[in-house]
Amino acid sequence: MSRIFEALQKSSAGKASGFSDFASALQLEPQQTVETVAEPQSAGELDQFPSLHVALAGDSRLFCLTQRDSLGAEKFRFLGVRLRQLQQSQALKRILVTSTIPEEGKSTISGNLATTLARKRQQKVLLIDGDLRRPSLNRLLGLHHLRGLSEWLQGDATAAEPIYRLEEPGFWFMPAGSPPENPLDLMHLTRYATLMERLSGWFDWIVIDTPPVLPLADTSVWAKSADGILLVTREGTTRKRELQRGLAALDATKLLGVVINSTHNTEHDNYYQHYGAAAKSSRSER
């Protein structure tokens, strides 16, 4: 799981037609990694939502929480820095995470990204399971079935939004709920658009895990309310033609880049494991 993040390419590259155009990783100069702290916000409306504890297994894929010294966790910290830099120059809050086909790891990417962004002091992060057909974030987070977005869209408009504060990861979570008969009908309701506007006023970051873009139309609805899109691919699984079709189906002006999952590039693994262990030992001796 440590080799999960390989490349993030600027949206201008999203217009390219070939897979190789996305193979080079972004480079940040040392001075560029300095992060600014957001102005504190009042908890306000967020106080109404219940808190939950998560019990993650040792082999949990949420390794930004369970394996914070791993190379994979470091790659997500790099991704978080890059997104914050982009946020300083453009309106960027609602991040849609999708893939071309199923089983490419988009939910794992979403959960780890939300965990990384939530570690930034004073930043409020919401993770939404927008895959109303086959939700998987509950399982990733070690949670039982919860009332979610599906029930809220079909229910009483005056009811509180189904949002839960997850203590250990430090972010808020909106589960998908029970799969409805026709998710697209629900997402075209006026209540959906109103909900997204309200959430944008409460949170600094909203990470939305959506269905794959090729087989379904659901993601196109989510994309309309997103500020930026991350497309997840899996090395050894995603084919060039599928990637090209996925890129063509997305709004290129919102495409932030491509995240390559399960890459086998081990060039820096041994060094980082040694460095991480040494740094951890040094901290414990102080």
pLDDT in tens, the chain (286 residues): 333 344 444 433 433 333 333 333 333 233 333 333 334 344 567 888 999 988 887 778 898 988 888 888 999 999 999 999 999 999 999 999 999 888 888 999 999 999 999 998 778 999 999 999 899 999 999 898 899 999 999 887 678 899 999 998 999 999 999 998 888 888 877 888 889 999 999 999 999 999 998 877 788 888 888 999 999 988 777 788 888 888 888 999 999 988 888 665 555 444 344 444 444 444 444 4
Number of domains composing the chain: 1
In a domain, 21, yes or no: no
Q: Give me the CATH number covering residue 232.
A: 3.40.50.300
**Full domain range(s) for residue 132:** 11-16+63-264
d(CA 143, CA 148): 13
In a domain, 43, yes or no: no
d(CA 255, CA 275): 34
In a domain, 26, yes or no: no
In a domain, 223, yes or no: yes
d(CA 65, CA 115): 7
In a domain, 198, yes or no: yes
Cβ pair 259, 231 in contact under 8 A: yes
Q: The pTM is what?
A: 0.79
d(CA 154, CA 256): 32
Cβ pair 262, 4 in contact under 8 A: yes
In a domain, 160, yes or no: yes
Number of C-beta neighbours around residue 193 at 10 A: 14
In a domain, 127, yes or no: yes
In a domain, 40, yes or no: no
